[in-house]
């Protein structure tokens, strides 16, 4: 069996169906383990007291928001280069979850910032680029929603993802640059708590949980997209008639 | 174990609002996404089935 | 090769000359947005000088969006765009020519109006000079990146609003370096670093965005 066969929507539809429960259950169990570490194993931070426990969710969410964007850009590039339908569908399936994690990163960042910096929001490089990342996600999803034609939508969305992927590092560095020049206005940011091994472990567990969750959700979404696009093929008709 | 009692656990040394606000909203986001996904899935299935029946007639 | 580029340029400029009202609207919009700010925040000269560079830059980016939605739309409606894309001439040059034409009819007037608005905002002559330099380097970025957005949203319902949503986040570096350069000369930290970064970003946009816009145009016309 060649790897290429997995790229056929029919095979992938069934494979994804088998994989989803594994990823979903692993994500659930890892979340429980991560929460246990976050609240019961990780010690109180001497500087930030208990408020620092937000990092167990903030940092993984921020990682995922950027990582999902890169994966979307990767699938988009593959789709544009090799004209594989499935990669466009993967890119589409990932976007809403990416936007969700970006929102979570911003929300938890604000709730962490208030007790630590005394402000809900500072125009700090990371927060600002995260906000712009959210705008990019919203733009891409809006573009997909506006284009009815499947083929055009796939390609247009991927092109926008790619130009965004080139732009995100530039935005990040320009905001850092801008921020250093506005020291007077910004609040001095307290350093992240010195990273104990158990804290790093907690963040990693939560990050893997978020990753598995993303895979599970994206696979569910991609199955729906496949069925929608392949509904005229024999195998899809069989599925639609099968479970009544 | 860090916590002497449940009330201390919920209080989070006075930062309860921030900590539980973060974890709660995240849980809510995940929950909403899963519910929307479920609903979109059944909607799509129903729509596709109806379209297929309509086409076969 | 560049005969095609020149032909596209000449064609777009002739069309623009016939429809003067269209691109004058963008310039009036630029003036109006900038004039609303003093009414909103109050007339203190020091504060106006403080916010002036940022306000003028934001107004310039918004004004560019207003005219961008028309970049390919008219040619798309009368069918000539399809002919030009299907012709043996490279689509990249078509896009580049149209972006340059857009800059000539949007960017140059902005450069001419900006000093007047700068005086309204109580900017010093040094600051106005740097503002002009930053707009000279920065407005081409807006036309180039905007070309990508215009190609992606070609012929869509509500394309103009969508274009705004897609392209404004990509404008952020230009805005930061552009307004930052003027800020730099006003606070005495110097504008050279900002201007060179802005120039680098312009070169990068010039090298990348026509290709992506050309690809987007082909996708949109398929």
Q: Do A107 and B3 touch (CB under 8 A)?
A: no
What pLDDT, on a 0 to 100 scale, did the predictor assign at position A121?
82
Residues C17-56 have pLDDT tens digits of 887 777 788 889 999 999 998 888 888 888 888 888 999 9
Between C63 and C22, residue with greater pLDDT? C63
For residue C32, what pLDDT is reported? 92
Find the angle CA(C31)-CA(C37)-CA(C42) to the nearest 5 degrees: 135
Range 17-46 of B in CB contact (< 8 A) with A: 18-19, 21-23, 25-26, 29-30, 33-34, 37, 40-41, 44-45
- CB of C194 within 8 A of CB of C184? yes
For B16, nearest residue in chain A (alpha carbons): A51
C interface with A, Cβ–Cβ < 8 A, is 145, 148, 152-153, 156-159, 162, 165-166, 168-170, 172-173, 176-177, 180, 183-184, 189, 197, 201, 204, 208-209, 212, 215-216, 219-220, 222
In this predicted structure, what is the pLDDT of residue A104?
Answer: 93
To the nearest whole Å, the CA of A190 is away from the closest chain C CA by 25
Mean pLDDT of C60-81: 86
What is the nearest CA distance from A146 to chain C, expressed in angstroms?
7
**C74 neighbors C16 (Cβ within 8 angstroms):** no
What is the predicted pLDDT for the residue at A94? Answer: 94
Report the first-to-last Cα separation within chain C, whole angstroms.
25
C190 phi-psi bin (left φ>0, alpha ψ -120 to 50, beta other): left
Which of A80, A143, A155 comes nearest C166 by C-beta?
A: A143
CB-facing half-sphere around the CA of C173: CA atoms within 13 A: 24
- As a whole number, mean pLDDT of residues C124-137 equals 92
- CA–CA separation, A226 and B42 (whole Å): 14
pLDDT at A1: 42
Range C135-155 average pLDDT:
92
Q: Under an 8 A CB cutoff, do C220 and A152 touch?
A: yes
**Subunit contact C152:A143, Cβ cutoff 8 A:** yes
Spell out which residues of chain C touch residue A175, defining contact as CB-CB under 8 Å. 172, 176
Q: Is the pLDDT of residue A189 over 50?
A: no
Sort out which chain A residues have CB atoms less than 8 A from B15's CB and list them: 49-51, 115
A:11-40 residues touching chain B, CB 8 A cutoff: 39-40
Indicate the average pLDDT of chain C: 88
Q: What is the pLDDT of residues A109-163, one digit of tens each?
A: 888 888 877 778 877 777 888 899 999 999 999 999 999 888 899 999 999 999 9
Closest CA–CA distance from residue A181 to any residue of chain B (Å): 30
Asked if C172 and A171 come within 8 Å (Cβ–Cβ), the reply is: yes
Whether residue A95 has pLDDT greater than 50: yes
Q: How confident is the model at residue A181 (pLDDT cuts 50, 70, 90)?
A: low
Higher pLDDT, A209 or B49: A209
- Write down the pTM of the prediction: 0.88
- List pLDDT tens digits, range A213-228: 999 999 999 999 988 8
Query: Which residue carries 């490279």 as its tokens?
Result: C90
Distance from CA of B7 to the nearest CA of A (A): 14
d(CA A129, CA A136) in angstroms, rounded, equals 10
Residues of A (42-61) whose Cβ lies below 8 Å from B: 43-44, 49-51, 53-54, 57-58, 61
d(CA C93, CA B34): 47
Structure ipTM over 0.90, yes or no: no
Of B9, B13, B29, nearest to A49 by CB-CB distance is: B13
Average pLDDT over residues C101-118: 91
pLDDT at A183: 45
- Please count the residues of chain C: 222
- Nearest CA to A30 among A221, A220, A203? A203
Mean pLDDT for chain A?
Answer: 83
As a whole number of Å, the end-to-end CA separation of chain B is 67
Residue A235 has pLDDT above 60, yes or no: yes
Q: Using the predicted structure, report yes or no on whether residue A11 has a pLDDT greater than 70.
A: yes
A225: which 2 tokens? 């997209």
CA A201 to chain centre: 20
Q: Is B48 an interface residue toward A (CB < 8 Å)? A: yes
Instruction: Tell me C157's DSSP state.
Output: T
Tell me if chain A has a CB within 8 Å of the CB of B2: yes
pLDDT tens per residue across span B1-57: 567 787 777 777 778 788 888 899 999 999 999 999 999 888 888 888 888 888 877
CB nearest A227 (choices: B25, B26, B48):
B48
Chains interfacing with A (3 or more CB pairs < 8 Å)? B, C
**CA distances (Å), A26 to each of A20, A208, A210, in order?**
10, 9, 10
Proportion of chain C above pLDDT 70, given as a percent:
100
pLDDT at A188 (0 to 100):
40
CA A160/CA C149 separation, integer angstroms: 8
Judged by CB atoms closer than 8 Å, whether chains meet at A177 and C197 is answered as: yes
Does the distance separating the beta carbons of B30 and A49 come in below 8 Å? Answer: no
The DSSP symbol for C189 reads S
pLDDT band at C150 (very low <50, low <70, confident <90, very high): very high
Per-domain boundaries in chain A: 59-231
Determine the angle formed by the axes of helices C159-167 and C45-68, rounding to 10 degrees: 130
Share of chain A above pLDDT 70, in %: 87
Interchain CB distance below 8 Å, A228 and B49: no
In this predicted model, what pLDDT tens digit does every residue of C186-204 receive, in sequence order?
Answer: 887 778 888 999 999 999 9
Average pLDDT over residues A69-90: 91
| B12/A53 touch (CB, cutoff 8 Å), yes or no | yes
Supply C214's token pair. Answer: 């050309």
Three-state DSSP string of chain A:
CCHHHHHCHHHHHHHHHHHHHHHHHHHHHHHHHHHHHHHHHCCCECCCECHHHHHHHHHHHHHHHHHHHHHHHHHHHHHHHHCCHHHHHHHHHHHHHHHHHHHHHHHHHHHHHHHHHCCCCCCCHHHHHHHHHHHHHHHHHHHHHHCCCHHHHHHHHHHHHHHHHHHHHHHHHHHHHHHHHCCCCCCCCCCCCCCCHHHHHHHHHHHHHHHHHHHHHHHHHHHHHHHHHCCCCHHHHHHHHHCC
Name chain A contacts of B34, Cβ cutoff 8 Å. Answer: 217
How far is Cα A158 from Cα A224, in angstroms, rounded to an integer? 19
Confidence of residue C156 (pLDDT cuts 50, 70, 90): confident
Question: Are C180 and A80 an interchain contact pair (Cβ–Cβ within 8 Å)?
Answer: no
**Size of the A and C interface in Cβ pairs below 8 Å:** 81
Predicted pLDDT at A180: 66
pLDDT at residue A31 tops 70: yes
Beta bridge partners of A45: A49
Share of chain C above pLDDT 90, in %: 41
Residue A117 has a pLDDT of: 76
If one counts every other C-beta atom within 10 angstroms of the C-beta of residue C160, the result is 15
**Distance (Å, rounded) from C-alpha C220 to C-alpha C145?**
17
> Which residue in the set C157, C165, C173 is minimally distant from A171, CB to CB?
C173
What is the chain A residue with the closest CA to C169? A132
Residue C214 has pLDDT above 90, yes or no: yes
The Cα–Cα gap between A58 and A207 comes to 10
pLDDT at B39: 92
């Amino acid at each position: 069996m060649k790897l290429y066969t997995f790229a056929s929507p029919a095979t992938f539809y069934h494979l994804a169906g088998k994989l989803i429960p594994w990823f979903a259950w692993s994500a659930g169990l890892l979340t429980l383990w991560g929460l246990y570490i976050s609240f019961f194993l990780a010690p109180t931070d001497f500087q930030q007291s208990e408020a620092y426990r937000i990092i167990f969710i903030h940092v993984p969410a921020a990682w995922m928001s950027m990582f999902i964007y890169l994966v979307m850009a990767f699938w988009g590039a593959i789709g544009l280069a090799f004209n594989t339908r499935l990669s466009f569908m993967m890119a589409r399936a990932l976007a809403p979850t990416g936007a969700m994690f970006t929102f979570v990163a911003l929300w938890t960042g604000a709730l962490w910032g208030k007790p630590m910096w005394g402000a809900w929001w500072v125009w700090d490089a990371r927060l600002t680029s995260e906000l712009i990342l959210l705008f990019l996600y919203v733009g891409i999803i809006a573009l997909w929603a506006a284009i009815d034609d499947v083929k055009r939508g796939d390609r247009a969305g991927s092109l926008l993802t790619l130009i965004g992927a080139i732009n995100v590092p530039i935005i990040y560095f320009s905001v850092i640059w801008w921020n250093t020049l506005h020291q007077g206005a910004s609040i001095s940011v307290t350093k992240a708590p010195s990273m104990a091994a158990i804290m790093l472990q907690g963040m990693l567990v939560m990050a893997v949980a978020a990753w598995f969750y993303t895979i599970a959700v994206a696979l569910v979404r991609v199955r729906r997209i496949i069925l929608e696009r392949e509904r005229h093929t024999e195998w899809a008709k069989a599925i639609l008639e099968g479970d009544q | 174990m860090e916590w002497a009692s449940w009330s201390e656990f919920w209080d989070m040394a006075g930062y309860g609002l921030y900590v539980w606000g973060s974890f709660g909203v995240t849980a809510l986001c995940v929950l909403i996404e899963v519910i929307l996904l479920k609903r979109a899935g059944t909607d799509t299935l129903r729509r596709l089935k109806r379209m297929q029946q309509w086409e076969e007639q | 090769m560049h005969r095609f580029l020149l032909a596209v340029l000449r064609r777009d400029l002739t069309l623009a000359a016939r429809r003067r009202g269209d691109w004058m609207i963008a310039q009036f919009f630029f003036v109006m947005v900038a004039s609303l700010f003093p009414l909103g925040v109050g007339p203190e000269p020091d504060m106006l000088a403080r916010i002036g560079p940022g306000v003028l830059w934001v107004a310039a980016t918004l004004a560019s969006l207003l005219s961008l939605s028309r970049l390919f739309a008219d040619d798309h409606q009368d069918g000539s765009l399809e002919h030009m894309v299907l012709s043996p001439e490279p689509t990249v040059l078509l896009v580049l020519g149209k972006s340059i034409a857009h800059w000539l009819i949007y960017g140059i007037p902005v450069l001419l109006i900006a000093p007047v608005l700068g005086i309204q905002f109580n900017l010093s002559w040094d600051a106005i000079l740097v503002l002009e330099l930053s707009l000279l380097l920065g407005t081409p970025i807006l036309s180039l990146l905007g070309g990508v957005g215009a190609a992606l949203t070609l012929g869509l319902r509500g394309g103009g609003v969508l274009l705004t949503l897609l392209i404004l986040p990509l404008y952020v570096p230009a805005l930061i370096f552009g307004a930052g350069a003027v800020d730099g000369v006003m606070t005495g930290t110097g504008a050279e670093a900002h201007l060179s970064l802005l120039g680098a970003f312009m070169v990068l946009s010039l090298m990348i965005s026509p290709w992506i816009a050309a690809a987007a145009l082909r996708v949109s016309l398929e």
